[in-house]
Amino acid sequence: MARRVHYEDLIIDLYLFNRLDTGGGRKKVAKLLFILEEDLYHQKVVGPHYIMKRYPEGPYDKRVETNLENLTKNGYLKHTNRYYQNSVTSKFIKEIDELFQENSIIFTQLDKIIDDFGDESGDKIADFIYSMPQIGMKRKSFFDYNEFEAIIDPREIYNPKFSFFLDDAWYDTIEILLNPKMLSKLQNAIKDCQVGNFTLL
Rule CB under 8 A: which residues touch another protein? 1-5, 7, 62-63, 65-66, 69-71, 73-74, 95-96, 98-99, 168-170, 172-173, 175-182, 185-186, 188-190, 192-201
Nearer to another protein, 4 or 42 (CB): 4
CB 154 within 8 A of CB 33: no
Report angle CA 130, 8, 175 to the nearest 5 degrees. 150
Nearer to another protein, 39 or 69 (CB): 69
Helices 168-177, 180-195: axis angle to 10 degrees equals 90
* Residue 33 beta carbon to another protein: minimum distance, rounded to whole angstroms: 16
* Residue 141 beta carbon to another protein: minimum distance, rounded to whole angstroms: 30
Instruction: Tell me the C-alpha to C-alpha distance, in Å, between residue 57 and each of 9, 52, 80, 138, 181.
Output: 21, 12, 21, 20, 37
* Residue 72 beta carbon to another protein: minimum distance, rounded to whole angstroms: 8
* Residue 76 beta carbon to another protein: minimum distance, rounded to whole angstroms: 8
* Residue 133 beta carbon to another protein: minimum distance, rounded to whole angstroms: 34
- The count of C-alpha atoms lying within 13 angstroms of the C-alpha of 63, restricted to the half-sphere facing its C-beta, is 14
What residues contact residue 74 under an 8 Å CB cut-off, 6+ apart?
Answer: 178, 179, 180
Nearer to another protein, 159 or 190 (CB): 190
Nearer to another protein, 17 or 145 (CB): 17
Nearer to another protein, 147 or 167 (CB): 167
